[in-house]
A and B are shown apart, each in its own frame.
Chain A
Amino acid sequence: MPPTAISQAPGFVGRPTRRVDGPLKVTGRAKYAAEYDAPGLAYGYIVSSAVAAGRVLAIEADAALQMPGVIRIFSHADRPATATADKAWQDEVAPPGHPFRPFGSDEIHFALQPIALVVAETYEAARDAASLVTARYEVTQHRVDLKRERATAYDPPEKRAGIPPPPAPRGDFAQAYADAPVKISADYVLAPEYHNPMEMFGTTVVRNDDGKLLVFDKTQGSQNVKAYLAGVFGLPEGDIRVVNAYVGGAFGTALRPNMSAVLAVMASLALERSVRVTLTREQMFALGYRPHMEQTVSLACGRDGKLLAVHHDAVSGTSPFEDYQEAVVNWSGMLYACANTKLSYALAKLNTNTPCDMRAPGATSGVYALEAAMDELAHAAGIDPLELRIRNFSERDGNTDKPYSSKALMLCYREGAARFGWSRRQLAPRSMREGNELVGFGMATGVWEAMVVPVTAKAILSADGALEVSTASSDIGTGTYTILAQIAADAFGLPLERVTVRIGDSALSAHPVEGGSWTAASAGASVSLACAKLKEQALARARRMTNSPLAQAAMEEVAFTDGRIALAGDAGRGVSLADVLRASDLGHLEEEASFTPDEKLAGRYASYSHAAVFAEVRVDEELGVLRVPRLVSAVAGGKILNPKTARSQILGGVVMGLGMALHEEGLFDHDLGRLMNHNYAEYHVPVNADIGDIDVLFVDEHEDKLGHLGVKGLGEIGIVGTAAAVANAIFHATGKRVRDLPITLDKLLG
């Protein structure tokens, strides 16, 4: 089946197109998981552990049980049976280890771990009763200080599926480093970051009379949650359907099934009624997070700036029970050409929940350290930082020696630098100033995997000429609804309003979790294939109609426009799709098609999206007050399906990168083993005043190996490199190298 060529003007693909779900969202008609109602709905409220490590000796719930409206209190001491094997608890993206089981035992692994669920007739009654539930603990020594635990770090024995472990050393790093004329070595520390999308986790389980469960859940993968719940509770898959029609932000936090889903289903099954469980903002800080990280990067180059030696070591926090892994150091071996590399990555156990993927997991952390170190090297070599990157530009992935399927990074450097005015930069730090403020220009490279995954989609054409496309994808705010509508509308030459996109439902065609920035390319390709197949079917039927003007027509000779198929050069000679359906005696036409990544091509090429980020900072020299008045992000992401939603993705990524550079920090009390700033007032993310002008530009990049759409995905690339660009600009402004993020004003006081 030949893929649908993306039609050019007057189509929608490639044009800035408003979100098709925008009006529903801004008028409140788009329903989120915790907003569904059901007859007899009961409400669950989670009681969280007060201690960070140990065991629960007793849950004292008598007073709570006496409260009016309280139905039952679940805990490790009183819960229905669940699967015993770890396998059943391992979802599609689980790291190796023993997945967390809410109420699985009396063991406490982290502060705020759920220890009980109070279910009551109203939310208020559940919450009120929950405040009466107390627990007695046996407290053991906790570990939350990565600096201390770095000594205990280990190479994870089992590797996480889909995450390449650090490649074997190349050449001889030690010798090359020792011999090199220019070298630097430094430690970089990252504070733990918490996702905190606007929508908090919530699950509404609607129980039908026949006992089947309709689960409205906040997730990035309805089918992942469905399979998980079926496994955990031993239910036939047909008895559960998971719906996530709208998701109020996720960033990776909803890749794995959440505790609200397990607990709501547990209660629903035990009580045989519909149940809703929602998390509080505080409890959102006890979920997966971007882990604490300690990194050391050593780089050496010749006087010409050519890299001679690269060493990158990272130690990341993980939970006591799972070995969460991400690709942190690999970037240092792939991004620039260098013959002598040594990369290592280890984990240290901390009393926290298992970290989880957070916008460009691994790259955000690792590329920060690499790009900050490259800036240090440029300074040591007396070379312009952009020039240093250009001199070390590589046409091949250094780790695998494969050529790139496309890599327009050089254009990002050039066009980004021109837009930013990089040439006005003075080489020496502290050489630019205005009034009380030191001015600095910094830049960094960003890189993220371009991935495609198998997706199946369906396309249905109805008698009135309306088109529906569907797949069990998720739109976590990225614009999936919109780009799928654009692709489908163009395939049939229809206005957007004639296309309905259905996603966010496990009953739809197969789609993995929405993550890794693969959705636009993969779901887009499957929808395009389904539409192509549907067009073939429609044309075949049109050909067979009596006296068909298209009797001899081949696909290349016809055009689909406004509900008609007609000869390309002669719009008069054609038939309406409605007539095709009538002649076939069918209410609708339907096709399903699967997009499968071309493994052979994938084996030969390395595929990544790239960015060059340029930032200007201004630092009040005396007070450390820091502003980022402008930033340019030049992105190479293959074909841009929708410049408007694409730009929004980059803006969001950049803002999150600013947060990483300047604000975000989970503050742990090391004596108590507890995160203390568990709310939006004290866990800082950037506010408008912190965000200056962000200029996003997409460079031309032709990608033809990653699937026929030529799309790479843009959900994550915007964050990678941003923090390093800002940190590097701060060095340029002040001459002070701050390597521990976030860079708060106290770190800038001389």
Chain B
Amino acid sequence: MIRFDYVRPTSVPDAVKALAAKPGAQVIAGGTNLVDLLKYDVAKPSRLIDINRLPLRAIEDTADGGLKLGALVTNADAAYDVRVAQRFPLLASAILAGASAQLRNAATTGGNLLQRTRCLYFYDPHVPCNKREPGTGCPARTGVNRNLAVLGTSEHCIATHPSDMCVALAALNAVVHVTGPAGERQIALSDFHRVPGDRPDLDNTLERGELITAVEVPFSDFGRHYTYLKLRDRLSYAFALVSVAAAVRLDAGRIDELRVALGGVAPKPWRNLEAEGLLAGAAPERRAYEAFADRLLAGAQGFGDNDFKLGLARRAIVRALTQAVAGTPQSQSDKRVA
């Protein structure tokens, strides 16, 4: 039985107040993840704060030529926005690789960041799960873990963060704007999600009462040298087994700047800035990509069903870099891998 009250504030301060006032209060935006969790008796909020009347639907230009996406901008509106498509085709591509057209019409920017893992055990309240009920155990470690993590895991949890959009945002050095009882602050996307450690119940670094108001993507100019390569169990409408967001800047036939984030393999979009830095100045060739992949995947560990991700991720990184360097990004409608 879930008894909750329901409020529909019209201003951010009111929403934050409502959120901070009651333990167990939770925001609802598009509802595409939260409503399922409510139906499965997994989410048990004391209060639902419907934020759909907040003025957070705009996509605004920033001073440096970047964009700021309001928390309520839907995934569809973001992907098809002309400025997003022109300046950040990597982001548009990643969004379009996710879910289905219907879901993207409802899903929001803020909600996408805060969607929960797709670990099968997390969704079934009849079975133990440390993320859902800390201390009950993690049956996924020895069970069905085909879709779970090989990096950033702990003995308590091996869940992934399933978002596609966040993988591109991580590669684009996006920043999350939040407002809480103590005011506004900004969190780098790469610091937003957290590895489970001994607190698998905490997916991210938001403080109690904090609301996401926007996601800012700073200016970048990778041109056509990007790709979002998503590998999954069917050609559409499935979460990533492995995904790679890559962007490269070339200078005189050498790699000048490289950014790579992995999805589907870790509790957060997985980057390694040091490994990226090592590739600066290198010739864009397969051997260099492979060495980079090995560094990015250092420490990866499978749990049985998902062992294949180690090899697959390595190949996917190499292919994504090949696509990005060649300026032939992966199409999200033609399912042939370029």
Closest-CB distance, A292 to chain B (whole angstroms): 15
Do A624 and B312 have beta carbons less than 8 Å apart?
Answer: yes
Q: Nearest residue in A to B124 (C-beta to C-beta)?
A: A676
Closest-CB distance, B129 to chain A (whole angstroms): 11
Do A667 and B120 have beta carbons less than 8 Å apart?
Answer: yes
B308 at the interface (CB under 8 A from A): yes
Determine which of A111, A669, A682 lies in contact with B118 in the assembled complex, contact meaning CB atoms within 8 Å.
A682
Q: Residue-by-residue, is B183-212 near A (CB-CB < 8 Å gives 1, otherwise 0)?
A: 000000000000000000000000000000
| Interface residue ranges of B233-281 to A (CB < 8 Å) | 233-238, 241
| Interface residue ranges of A665-679 to B (CB < 8 Å) | 667-672, 674, 676-679
Q: Is the interface of A mostly helix, strand, loop or mixed?
A: loop
Interface size classification for chain B: 20 to 34
Sorted nearest first, the 3 A-B pairs with minimum C-beta distance are: A689-B236, A746-B308, A689-B235
Q: Nearest residue in A to B316 (C-beta to C-beta)?
A: A623
B residues in contact with A689, CB < 8 Å: 234-237, 335
A residues in contact with B308, CB < 8 Å: 746, 749
A686-B234 CB under 8 A given contacts A674-B127, A676-B121: yes
B residues in contact with A128, CB < 8 Å: 1
A residues in contact with B142, CB < 8 Å: 671
B residues with CB within 8 A of A: 1-2, 41, 118, 120-121, 123-124, 126-127, 139, 142-144, 146, 231, 233-238, 241, 308, 311-312, 315-316, 318-319, 335-338
Interface size classification for chain A: 35 or more
Cα–Cα, bound, A745→B230 (Å) = 12
A623-B234 CB under 8 A given contacts A436-B337, A676-B121, A682-B118: no
Q: Residue-by-residue, is A427-459 near B (CB-CB < 8 Å gives 1, otherwise 0)?
A: 000000001110000000000000000000000
Cα–Cα, bound, A131→B126 (Å) = 11
A716 at the interface (CB under 8 A from B): no
A131-B1 CB under 8 A given contacts A670-B143, A676-B120: yes
B residues in contact with A739, CB < 8 Å: none
B residues in contact with A627, CB < 8 Å: 235, 335-336
A690-B236 CB under 8 A given contacts A622-B319, A671-B139, A745-B231: yes
Do B336 and A437 have beta carbons less than 8 Å apart?
Answer: yes
A residues in contact with B121, CB < 8 Å: 669, 676
Q: Nearest residue in A to B237 (C-beta to C-beta)?
A: A687
B residues in contact with A663, CB < 8 Å: 233-234
Cα–Cα, bound, A475→B237 (Å) = 30
Determine which of A623, A670, A674 lies in contact with B319 in the assembled complex, contact meaning CB atoms within 8 Å.
A623
Closest-CB distance, B310 to chain A (whole angstroms): 10
Determine which of A436, A667, A674, A745 lies in contact with B312 in the assembled complex, contact meaning CB atoms within 8 Å.
A745
A656 at the interface (CB under 8 A from B): no
Determine which of A437, A618, A688 lies in contact with B236 in the assembled complex, contact meaning CB atoms within 8 Å.
A688
Q: Can you give 18 contacting A-B residue pairs, CB < 8 Å?
A: A129-B1, A131-B1, A622-B319, A623-B315, A623-B316, A623-B337, A663-B234, A668-B144, A670-B143, A672-B143, A676-B124, A682-B118, A688-B236, A689-B335, A690-B234, A690-B236, A746-B146, A746-B312
A88 at the interface (CB under 8 A from B): no
A672-B139 CB under 8 A given contacts A689-B335, A746-B308, A746-B312: yes
Which residue, A435, A678, A745, has most C-beta atoms of chain B within 10 A?
A745
Do A131 and B41 have beta carbons less than 8 Å apart?
Answer: yes
Cα–Cα, bound, A688→B100 (Å) = 11
Cα–Cα, bound, A745→B312 (Å) = 9
Closest-CB distance, B317 to chain A (whole angstroms): 11
Do A749 and B312 have beta carbons less than 8 Å apart?
Answer: yes
A residues in contact with B146, CB < 8 Å: 667, 746
A672-B127 CB under 8 A given contacts A623-B231, A687-B234, A687-B237: yes
